[in-house]
Amino acid sequence: MSNQEMQMDEITLTEMLKEIFEHNKQVQEFIEKQQEKDKIINAYQQQTELLIESFNTKFSNIKVDAPKPDISSVNQALTNGLQVINQTIAKGPKPVERVFRLTLFPEQVRNAEYYGIMLTRLILGVLGIMALILGYMLLNKMIR
């Protein structure tokens, strides 16, 4: 090997060692930054755990006492209702009244169309009865 080749190998080796050294230095810096971040994260995690513990203690100390419900109005309404029922029972049943009526227009229906229909049927019925009577009278005269 010649001197020139050795110098080339030394230069190449030196350059490679420099690159490796630089790379190792960058890796070391990266690791240190990550360790710092890990310390910060651990500190925040401890703070979070402390906050959770303090919340749990505060939450466990909370007591809710609901006021007793006021049911006097319900009791009063029930009492009034029972009094009305007792009075109704004390009066006894009403006598049943039977009423027989003939009505042209029922009391439940108060409709103008219904009145019109009923009047039309009444008029047609009266005309029909008159036609039957007239027909009977004519046939009776023809037969005699």
**pLDDT tens sequence across 115-129:** 788 889 999 999 999
Instruction: Report helix, strand and coil shares of the chain as percent, to nearest 5.
Output: 75, 0, 25
pLDDT tens sequence across 67-104: 887 888 888 998 999 898 888 888 877 778 888 877 76
In this prediction the pTM is 0.34
**Could you say which DSSP state residue 94 is in?**
P
Instruction: Return the closest-CA partner of residue 38 out of 69, 122, 30, 119.
Output: 30
Decide if pLDDT at 1 tops 60: no
